[in-house]
Amino acid sequence: MGHHSTPADAARVFAECAPGLAVYNHLVLIDDGKSGPPTVQELMDRTRQGYDGAVVVGEESHGLLPLNFGSRAGVTPTPSPRRA
């Protein structure tokens, strides 16, 4: 899984790019063999150690995308169609 970013890696990229909204859109939560895989809250806590801007986590089963971007930095999530 070495080709995936850690929360620290993502925080560094988010801080450098300074997006209006950073989005985690694909998560690989790896079990450390001791306490199980991290929770989404733990992922966010680790990200917050290096980045304090706006961040959301998209959930593949619930859908966050598509997003409507206005002329300002605001973002409005739109519901995705349910899969049959």
- Domain ranges within the chain, ordered by starting residue: 7-77
Lowest-pLDDT range, 1-5, 13-17, 80-84?
A: 80-84
The reported pTM is 0.65
Mean of the pLDDT values across residues 22-51?
A: 87
* DSSP string for residues in 3-64: TSPPHHHHHHHHHHH--SSEEE--------SSS-SPPHHHHHHHHHTT--S-EEE--TTT--
Predicted confidence band at 14 (pLDDT cuts at 50, 70, 90)? very high
pLDDT at 67 over 60: no
